[in-house]
C-alpha cells in the first residue's frame, strides 16, 4: 500500500514556496555583503548536511568521509581550473562527478562492514585522501592549499560584484536543486530500499533489496551535490585548503545535521541557517565558541534528539490543536440551533467524562434506546437521517467522540483510542440512563461498539456494525479486512490537505453535495492527533476478546454493510461469517457505500429496524424490562 502525492499536492508546498520566495527576495532587503556571505555559506552547508543525511540519517551508513567528498569536489575544481584552465562552471559539474567516483571507492570497503567499522574505515579513507593531498605539495600547495582561484562569471559579469549577488543566487539554486534531488530520491523505490535496509536489514534483503547495490547508490547519490557544493565553495572563497578534510569541518556539518534532526530532509536545511549565524554571532569568543558549539551538540543529542525539526513539528501540532479546539468551542455555541434542527429537534447536551466534555444528542422519551457511534473524523450528525426517520419508535442517542464534532479535544495519549472511546460510550449510557440499548457502530465506531460489548460493563440489547471488519490478530487481520487504498493511509494521517480532506469525507460518507456539505464542513475540526494516535494505539485493544464475544454469540449481532463499500474486503467478511461457530447475519445493502445509512437510508433503515426489534424482543424475553427498569432510578 502506497500513498504518495507529488510534492505540489502535499502540505509542504505552501511553506516551501513561501520560504523560497523569501530567500529570493532577501537580497533586496539584505544589502550588507557580510550577511549575504553568511547566507551563501548557509546554502552551501545546508546542501552538504542534507546530502549527508541521505547516507547517515536515511541509510544509517555512518560515512565519516563525507567531509572528504566535499574536499574532493573542492580540489577537483581547484586543480582543473588552475592547471587545465577549465571553465569554472564545467569544473563545478566535474567536482560533483569526482566526488561520486570517490564515494564509489569509499563504498568498496563499506560494503562488507557494519556499524562502528564503517565509521573507522571512512575516517581512514578521509585521512588517506588528506595525506595524499598534503604530500603532493607541488600540485596542491600542501598544507597552505591552492590560492587565487578564479571567480564565477557569466558573459564577463563577475559574481562577486554588487555585493556577491550572483553567488547568492547560484548558491540558492544549488540548494534548491540538491533538495529536489534528495526529495525525489527519498520517495523513490531506491529511497524506500535505503530506509528499509536501515530499519530492518534482513527483512529488506529477503524482499529482494540488494544491500551492496543500495549502499553503493546511497553513497554515490549523497556525493553528487556534496562534491558540487565543494567545487562551488572553491569558486566562492577562491582557496582550496586542506582544512576541509579535518575533524573541525566534519564536526560543523555534523552539528548542523544533528541540531536539525537526523533522517529529516528539511531539518538540516533549516538548521544550517541557525548554526551558521549562531556560530558567527559568537565568533568573538575565540576558543569559547568551539566549546559552546560542543556543549550545544551534547545537549541536543542528550535532551532533544529530534532536533530542530522535531521542535517545528511540535509547534505545528500545538497550533493545529489550538485551531481545532477553538473551532469546536466556536461551533458548540454558534451552530447549536442548526445541529438541533438537523437532528430533528433532538436535545444537545454537554456532559463531562474522564476524557473531556462530550456533546450528546438525545431524542429522549421512554422508548427502547439506540446508541449511535460515528466513525473516524465524522460527527454525531452523520446519523441525522436516522434521527429523523426512527424517532417515533426508538429513543435515539449519538455523541461526538473526543476530538471530533463539538466535543472537547482529549489527551492524545489516553483519550484517542478505541478503549477510551468505549469508556466514553459507557459514561454516556450511564449518564443518559439508557437501559440496555441497541448499539450501532459505524467504521471506527464499529470497533468502539465491539469493545463496548466485549467489556460487558454496560448491558446491551444488541450490536450492529457497519463498515467495520472484526479483527482477531492485529495488524495482520487489519491488512486482510480492508482493501488497501489511500483511504487507509488517510485514516491515520494527522494533517490533511484540502484535497485529502475532501477525498476522505467524500469516500467515507458522500461526495460533496448540498446534502453532505455539513459533514465536509465538520471534518477539518477533527483533532489530527485523534487519527494518528487511534491507529498507533490499535495494538492496546484486546482484539481476541472481541472475537470470542462474537463467537459465543450471546449478544444479538449483525453486520450491515454497503454492498459497494470501497474499503472493506468483502471476501474477508464472507469467510468470517462462513467460519465455524459463527451465527450472526451479514447483510449487504445494495448500492450502499461506506455509509449506507447515509447513502441509501430507506434500504438501511428497513434492515436496521428489523434487527433492533429482534434484538430488543430477545432481550425482553431474557429479562423483562419492566421489572428491572422500575428497580433503577431514572436520572
Partner 1 sequence: MDLPTLISILQSGLALGVLYALMAFGLAIVWTTLGIFNFAHGAFIAAGAYLAWQFGNAAAFGLGYWAGAVLAVAAMFVIGAVVQLLLVRPFERHRDIVLLTVITTLAGATIITNLLNVIWGPRMKQIEPALDGEIVFGLVHMRSQEAVMIAVVAVTLFALGWFLLRTPLGRSMRAVAQNREAAQLMGLDVRLLYALTFGLAAAVAGLAGVFIGSIRFMSPTMGDDPLQKALVVVILGGVARFTSSVYAAFAVGIIEAFSTYFVGLYWTPAVLFGLMILVLIVKPEGLFGRRQRSV
Residue whose CB is less far from partner 1, 22 or 132: 132
Task: Please say whether the beta carbons of 559 and 585 come within 8 A.
Answer: yes
Q: 114 or 476, CB closer to partner 1?
A: 114
Site for partner 1 in 238-257 (CB under 8 A): 247, 250-251, 254-255
* Residues paired with residue 588 on neighbouring β-strands, in sequence order: 561
φ, ψ of residue 115 to 5 degrees: the values are 50, -125
The smaller minimum CB distance to partner 1, of residues 62 and 383, is found at 62
- Name every residue whose Cβ is closer than 8 Å to that of residue 150 and which is 6 or more positions away in sequence: 81, 88, 235, 238
Residue 358 phi, psi (nearest 5): -120, 135
Which residues in the 115-154 window bind partner 1 by CB under 8 A? 115-117, 119-121, 123-125, 127-128, 131-132, 134-135
The yes or no reply on residue 635 touching partner 1 (CB under 8 A) is: no
> 516-538 burial, b if ≥16 CB within 10 A, otherwise e?
bebbbebbebbbbbbbbbbbebb
- Considering the complex, state which of residue 162 and residue 199 has its C-beta at the smaller distance from partner 1: 199
| Region from 78-86, 297-305, 494-502, 604-612 binding partner 1, contact rule CB under 8 A | 297-305
CA dist 588 and 467 (Å) reads 10
Report how many residues bind partner 1 under the rule CB under 8 A. Answer: 41
The nearer residue to partner 1, 52 or 447, going by C-beta atoms, is 52
Q: Residue 598: how many CA atoms within 13 Å on its side-chain side?
A: 30
Looking at the Cβ atoms of 85 and 287, the one nearer to partner 1 is 287
Write each residue from 302 to 341 as x if it is in contact with partner 1 (CB under 8 A), else as -, in one continuous string: x---------------------------------------
Beta strands in 316-390 (DSSP E): 347-353, 356-362, 369-373
Task: Say how far residue 337 (Cα) sits from the centre of its chain.
Answer: 36
At closest approach, how far in Å is the CB of 194 from partner 1?
Answer: 16
Query: Quick one: 146 or 358, whose CB is closer to partner 1?
Result: 146
Distance CA 555, CA 181 (A): 57
- Closer to partner 1 by CB, 130 or 597: give it: 130
ω before 270 within 30° of 0 (cis)? no
Grid coordinates in use for 57?
Answer: 540519517
In the complex, the smallest distance separating the C-beta of residue 77 from partner 1, rounded to whole angstroms, is 23
From the number of C-beta atoms within 10 Å of its C-beta (0-12, 13-18, 19+), residue 37 rates as middle
Based on CB atoms, which residue is closest to partner 1, 248 or 511?
A: 248
258 binds partner 1 (CB under 8 A): yes
- Please say which residue, 122 or 376, places its beta carbon nearer to partner 1: 122
Residues 59-88 that bind partner 1 (CB under 8 A): 62, 64
Does residue number 571 form part of the binding site for partner 1 (CB under 8 A)? no
Q: Lay out the site mask for partner 1 across 267-286 (x = CB under 8 A, - = otherwise).
A: -------------------x
From the list 182-190, 293-301, 311-319, 579-587, the region that binds partner 1 by CB under 8 A is 293-301
**Measured from the CB of residue 208, what is the shortest distance to partner 1 in angstroms?**
22
* Burial 102-116, CB ≥16 within 10 A → b, else e: bbeebbeebeeeeee
Do the bridges between strand 586-589 and strand 153-154 make them parallel or antiparallel, or are there none, so unpaired?
A: unpaired
Which residue stretches of 84-210 are H helix? 88-110, 115-135, 137-140, 161-187, 189-199, 201-206
CA distance 237 to 249: 15
Does residue 544 touch partner 1 according to CB under 8 A?
Answer: no
DSSP 8-state assignment for residue 456:
T
Stretch that binds partner 1, among 220-228, 288-296, 341-349, 568-576 (CB under 8 A): 288-296
From 106-114, 511-519, 547-555, 587-595, give the range in contact with partner 1 by CB under 8 A.
106-114
**Which of 291, 319, 574, 610 touches partner 1 by CB under 8 A?**
291
600, three cell numbers = 441509501
What are the residues whose beta carbons fall under 8 Å from the beta carbon of 143, sequence distance 6 or more?
Answer: 134, 137, 242
CB of 239 to partner 1, least distance (A): 21
Q: Which is nearer to partner 1, 63 or 516 (CB)?
A: 63
- Compute the least distance from the CB of residue 244 to partner 1, in Å: 15
Question: Which residue's CB is nearer to partner 1, number 300 or number 466?
Answer: 300
CB 566 within 8 A of CB 594: yes
Choice between 62 and 225, CB closer to partner 1:
62
- Sheet-wide strand order for 395-399: 347-353, 356-362, 395-399, 369-373, 438-442, 462-466, 557-562, 586-589
Segments of 426-503 assigned E as strands: 438-442, 462-466
Residue from 190, 297, 474, 480 in contact with partner 1 (CB under 8 A): 297
Question: How near is the Cβ of 214 to partner 1 at its closest, in Å?
Answer: 18
From candidates 288, 345, 352, 473, binder to partner 1 by CB under 8 A: 288
Contacting residues for 604 by C-beta, under 8 A, at least 6 apart: 560, 589, 592, 596, 597
Summarize as ranges the residues that interact with partner 1 (CB under 8 A): 56, 62, 64, 108-109, 112-117, 119-121, 123-125, 127-128, 131-132, 134-135, 247, 250-251, 254-255, 258, 286-288, 290-291, 293-295, 297-298, 301-302
Amino acid at each position: 500500500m502506497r500513498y504518495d502525492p507529488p510534492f505540489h499536492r502535499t502540505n509542504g508546498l505552501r511553506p516551501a514556496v513561501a520560504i523560497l520566495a523569501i530567500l529570493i527576495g532577501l537580497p533586496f532587503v539584505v544589502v550588507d555583503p557580510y550577511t549575504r556571505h553568511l547566507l551563501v555559506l548557509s546554502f552551501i552547508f545546508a546542501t552538504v548536511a542534507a546530502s549527508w543525511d541521505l547516507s547517515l540519517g536515511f541509510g544509517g551508513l555512518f560515512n565519516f568521509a563525507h567531509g572528504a567528498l566535499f574536499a574532493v569536489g573542492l580540489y577537483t575544481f581547484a586543480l582543473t581550473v588552475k592547471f587545465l584552465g577549465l571553465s569554472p562552471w564545467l569544473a563545478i559539474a566535474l567536482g560533483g562527478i569526482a566526488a561520486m567516483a570517490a564515494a564509489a571507492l569509499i563504498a568498496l570497503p563499506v560494503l562488507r562492514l557494519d556499524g562502528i567499522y564503517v565509521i573507522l574505515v571512512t575516517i581512514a579513507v578521509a585521512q588517506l585522501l588528506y595525506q595524499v593531498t598534503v604530500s603532493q605539495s607541488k600540485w596542491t600547495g600542501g598544507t597552505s592549499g591552492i590560492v587565487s582561484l578564479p571567480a564565477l562569471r557569466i558573459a564577463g559579469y563577475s559574481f562577486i560584484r554588487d555585493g556577491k549577488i550572483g553567488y547568492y543566487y547560484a548558491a540558492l539554486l544549488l540548494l534548491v536543486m540538491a533538495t529536489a534531488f534528495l526529495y525525489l530520491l527519498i520517495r523513490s523505490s531506491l529511497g524506500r530500499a535505503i530506509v528499509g535496509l536501515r530499519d530492518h536489514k534482513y527483512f529488506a534483503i529477503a524482499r529482494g533489496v540488494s544491500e551492496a547495490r543500495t549502499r553503493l547508490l546511497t553513497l554515490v547519490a549523497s556525493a553528487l551535490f556534496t562534491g558540487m557544493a565543494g567545487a562551488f565553495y572553491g569558486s566562492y572563497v577562491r582557496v582550496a585548503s586542506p582544512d576541509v578534510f579535518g575533524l573541525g569541518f566534519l564536526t560543523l556539518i555534523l552539528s548542523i545535521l544533528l541540531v536539525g534532526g537526523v533522517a529529516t530532509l528539511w531539518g538540516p536545511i533549516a538548521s544550517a541557517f541557525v548554526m551558521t549565524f549562531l556560530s558567527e554571532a559568537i565568533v568573538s569568543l575565540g576558543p569559547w565558541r568551539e566549546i559552546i558549539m560542543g556543549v550545544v551538540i551534547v545537549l541536543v543529542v542528550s535532551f532533544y534528539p529530534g532536533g530542530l525539526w522535531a521542535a517545528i513539528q511540535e509547534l505545528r501540532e500545538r497550533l493545529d490543536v489550538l485551531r481545532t479546539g477553538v473551532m469546536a468551542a466556536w461551533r458548540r455555541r454558534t451552530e447549536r440551533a442548526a445541529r438541533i434542527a438537523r437532528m430533528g429537534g433532538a436535545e444537545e447536551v454537554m456532559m463531562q467524562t474522564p476524557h473531556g466534555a462530550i456533546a450528546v444528542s438525545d431524542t429522549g422519551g421512554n422508548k427502547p434506546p439506540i446508541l449511535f457511534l460515528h466513525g473516524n473524523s465524522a460527527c454525531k450528525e452523520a446519523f441525522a437521517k436516522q434521527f429523523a426517520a426512527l424517532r417515533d419508535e426508538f429513543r435515539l442517542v449519538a455523541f461526538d467522540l473526543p476530538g471530533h464534532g463539538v466535543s472537547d479535544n482529549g489527551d492524545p495519549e489516553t483519550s484517542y483510542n478505541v478503549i477510551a472511546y468505549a469508556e466514553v460510550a459507557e459514561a454516556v449510557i450511564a449518564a443518559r440512563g439508557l437501559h440496555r440499548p441497541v448499539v450501532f457502530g459505524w467504521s471506527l465506531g464499529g470497533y468502539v461498539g465491539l469493545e463496548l460489548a466485549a467489556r460487558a460493563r454496560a448491558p446491551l440489547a444488541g450490536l450492529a456494525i457497519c463498515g467495520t471488519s472484526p479483527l482477531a490478530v492485529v495488524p495482520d487481520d487489519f491488512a486482510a479486512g480492508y482493501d488497501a487504498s489511500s483511504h487507509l493511509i488517510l485514516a491515520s494521517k494527522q494533517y490533511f490537505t484540502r484535497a485529502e480532506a475532501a477525498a476522505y469525507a467524500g469516500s467515507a460518507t458522500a461526495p460533496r453535495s448540498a446534502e453532505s456539505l455539513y459533514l465536509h464542513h465538520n471534518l477539518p475540526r477533527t483533532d489530527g492527533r485523534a487519527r494518528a494516535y487511534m491507529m498507533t494505539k490499535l495494538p492496546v485493544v484486546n482484539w481476541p476478546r472481541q472475537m470470542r464475544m462474537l463467537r459465543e454469540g450471546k449478544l444479538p449481532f449483525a453486520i450491515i454493510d454497503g454492498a459497494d463499500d470501497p474499503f472493506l474486503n468483502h471476501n474477508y467478511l464472507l469467510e468470517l461469517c462462513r467460519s465455524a461457530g459463527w451465527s450472526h447475519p451479514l447483510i449487504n445493502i445494495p448500492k450502499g457505500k461506506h455509509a449506507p445509512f447515509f447513502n441509501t437510508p430507506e434500504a438501511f433503515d428497513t434492515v436496521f429496524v428489523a434487527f433492533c426489534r429482534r434484538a430488543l424482543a430477545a432481550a425482553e424475553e431474557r429479562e423483562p424490562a419492566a421489572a428491572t427498569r422500575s428497580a433503577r432510578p431514572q436520572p
